[in-house]
Chains A and B, each alone.
Chain A
Amino acid sequence: TQLLEQSPQFLSIQEGENLTVYCNSSSVFSSLQWYRQEPGEGPVLLVTVVTGGEVKKLKRLTFQFGDARKDSSLHITAAQPGDTGLYLCAGARAGGTSYGKLTFGQGTILTVHP
C-alpha cells in the first residue's frame, strides 16, 4: 500500500520555467523530507519540514508542509538544467517509533532542457 502519492511522475520542461511537485497522503506525518537523487547515486536530503503550514526556501526551491501535515509540495522557480534528477518525498508517520523509518513516494523524474 502506497501511503504517499507523488505527482507528477514525469516532468519535462524548458530552462527558466517554474514547476511544482506534489506529495499527498491520507495519513498524518510527524515530518516530511524531500530528497534529490542523481543517476548512479543515492538520494540526498534537501529539506525536512516538521510543523504544519511550514514553508522552507532553499535558493530557488520552496517547500511547503500542509496545515494538516498530510501533504507537501516542492516548487522550483526558473528551473535550470542542473535541477534535473529524481525528486522523492518521504514521510515519518505520526505516532510511530523514533527509529527514523520513512515512507517514500514514487518519485518525480524532472528533466530540464537547456
Chain B
Amino acid sequence: DVKVTQSSRYLVKRTGEKAFLECVQDMDHENMFWYRQDPGLGLRLIYFSYDVKMKEKGDIPEGYSVSREKKERFSLILESASTNQTSMYLCASSLRGAPGNTIYFGEGSWLTVV
C-alpha cells in the first residue's frame, strides 16, 4: 500500500516561531511536493523537488523553505511563522515522467499560527 506520511497532523505556533513539517514517502518517488489548501482557493504549490537536494519554487514560495536531504523525505520550514500561514499543508509525491502520473497525497497537517 502506497503511503505518504506527514509527521504532524496538528501544530500550533506563535507568531515568529519556527515551524517544521516533515513528510516521508515509501514509494521511491523522485518528485515530492508541498501544497497549502485554503477554502475557495484549492491547492496552491509552495515548493517541489524532483530529486535529492533539488528544489524549485512553486506559485507561493514566500515565507517558506524546503529541504530534501534524502529521497524519501521532504521537509517544509517556516522560519518565522505568521498568522497568514495558518492553513492546511499537504505533502505529495509522484514518479518522474509524464505529467499525467498519479500524485499521492498525505493526510495533511493543520498549522495554526496565533
Whole-angstrom distance from the CB of A5 to the nearest CB of chain B?
Answer: 10
The stretch of A13-21, A42-50, A75-83 in contact with B is A42-50
Interface majority SS (helix, strand, loop, mixed), chain A: loop
Interface string of B77-114 (1 = CB under 8 A from A): 00000000000001010111111111111111000000
A96, B99: Cβ atoms closer than 8 Å: yes
Tell whether, in the assembled complex, residue B42 and residue A106 are in contact, meaning their CB atoms are under 8 Å apart.
Answer: yes
Decide yes or no whether A92 CB sits under 8 A from chain B.
yes
Asked, given contacts A6-B42, A101-B58, whether A42 binds B99 with beta carbons under 8 Å apart, the answer is no
The 8 Å CB contact of A100, one of B41, B103, B108, is B103
B74 partner residues in chain A, CB cutoff 8 A: none
Q: Is there a chain B Cβ closer than 8 Å to A40's Cβ?
A: yes
The count of chain B contact residues (Cβ–Cβ below 8 Å) is: 31
Interface residues on A, range: 20 to 34
Contact mask B24-45 → A, CB, 8 Å, 1/0?
Answer: 0000000101010000111111
Residues A41 and B108 in contact, CB atoms below 8 Å apart: yes
Rounded to whole angstroms, the CA-CA distance of A98 and B48 in the bound complex is 13
**Docked-complex contact B100 and A40, CB < 8 angstroms:** no
- Across the interface, name the chain B residue whose C-beta is closest to A91: B99
A102 (CB) vs chain B CBs: closest residue: B103
Chain A 29-72, CB-CB to B under 8 Å as 1, else 0, gives 01101000000111111001010000000000000000000000
| B100 in complex: contacting residue of A33, A43, A44, CB < 8 Å | A33
Given A99-B48, A106-B42: A30 and B99 within 8 A (CB)?
A: yes
CB closest residue in chain A, given B102 = A45
Q: Would A105 and B42 count as touching, CB distance under 8 A?
A: yes
The verdict on A88 contacting chain B, using a C-beta distance below 8 Å, is yes
27 intermolecular pairs with C-beta atoms under 8 Å apart? A2-B42, A4-B42, A9-B40, A30-B99, A30-B100, A31-B100, A40-B107, A42-B105, A42-B106, A42-B107, A42-B108, A45-B104, A88-B42, A88-B43, A90-B43, A92-B100, A98-B96, A99-B31, A100-B96, A101-B45, A101-B48, A101-B58, A102-B45, A102-B99, A106-B40, A106-B42, A107-B40
**6 closest pairs, A vs B, by CB?**
A42-B105, A92-B99, A31-B100, A104-B42, A104-B43, A100-B94
